[in-house]
Amino acid sequence: MGDVRDAPGTEWDGHVLLLHRTEGERLAGLIAWVRRGLELGEKIIYTELPLMPEVALVPVLEARGVDVAAAVGEGQLVVLPPEEFYPPEGQRVVVERALAEGFPAVRISAEVRAALSVLSPSGVHGVEQQLDALVGDLPMSAMCQYSEATTTGTWLDDAVATHLSGVHQSSFSTSRDLDGLALHGEVDATNTDVFTAVLSAASRHRSQVLWVDLGEVTYVDAGSCWRLDDATRYYRSSGGHVVLVALQPPVELAMRMLEVDELPGMHLVGGER
């Protein structure tokens, strides 16, 4: 109840941030995202660096058993050079042109390396903000692929902030919840920076009560529990309340041992009788 991510595959809809540690992780996410678009009959627009044929989308999909010949032939799946994928007038025209072809929806994706081949870092951030607004306005999805190793500090904060309910990391993800934000998976030292970036960004978007559903979080390590304080301190000290909802017993246990429930403005609601 409450999570709009109930149907399988919906985690690849909307504005998605794919944080990958390895090429294998990236391709697994990309293939799932393409399959979702093919199933829904959407137009899929992709861009990639022309000098990297070994990771070119179409051969990679075919090598992994995804038959895209028909989709390519019918124009459902297209690969554009970065200059056309990021036109000066903005990506709205790319999406609207595809919708005008009669597709019910459009999904677009790129690796951040491809974006940086034609845009500055601040330009990439600007495109991400425009995309976030476009995904709300038009029948479309967008998936932005970032390498975890190079996505740190403010670069990570910015990336997470523009994909708040669509973060995908190998063992942790987020989704929109009817009451707020839902987290999924396990949080430990390997993704605690992503976890805290999500909470920091989420608290910047909420004026009074930040709802975080943890019903599908099976583990949070001690360091991440402790960083909940830092991530939300400014928000709570400004009068905001963080409500951590439906914690599984091991998660609630760890948070109580780390005294998260004692923080001012922090509320743990685990559902114990």
Of 66, 72, 119, 179, the one binding other proteins by CB under 8 A: 179
Of 44, 135, 247, 266, the one binding other proteins by CB under 8 A: 247
**Contacts with other proteins in 204-243 (CB under 8 A)?**
208-209, 211, 213, 215, 219, 221-223, 225-227, 230, 239, 241, 243
Q: For residue 220, which of 191, 262, 200 has the smallest C-alpha distance?
A: 191
**Contacts with other proteins in 14-73 (CB under 8 A)?**
21
Strand pairing class (15-20; 167-169): parallel
Tell me how far, at minimum, the Cβ of 198 lies from other proteins, in Å: 15
Of 2, 9, 87, 126, the one binding other proteins by CB under 8 A: 2
Calculate the dihedral angle through the C-alpha atoms of 78, 80, 85, 87, rounding to the nearest 10 degrees: -120
Handedness of CA 120, 124, 129, 135 (dihedral sign): positive
147 Cβ neighbours under 8 A, 6+ residues apart:
19, 20, 21, 26, 112, 113
Q: 251 by DSSP, 3-state: which?
A: helix
Tell me how far, at minimum, the Cβ of 215 lies from other proteins, in Å: 4
The answer to whether the CB of 41 falls within 8 A of the CB of 103 is yes
Q: Which is nearer to other proteins, 165 or 196 (CB)?
A: 196
Task: Give dist(CA 101, CA 69) in Å, integer.
Answer: 19
Q: Which is nearer to other proteins, 42 or 157 (CB)?
A: 157
Task: Point out which residues bind other proteins (CB under 8 A).
Answer: 1-2, 21, 171, 179, 186, 188-190, 192, 208-209, 211, 213, 215, 219, 221-223, 225-227, 230, 239, 241, 243, 245-250, 253-254, 257-259, 262, 267, 269-273
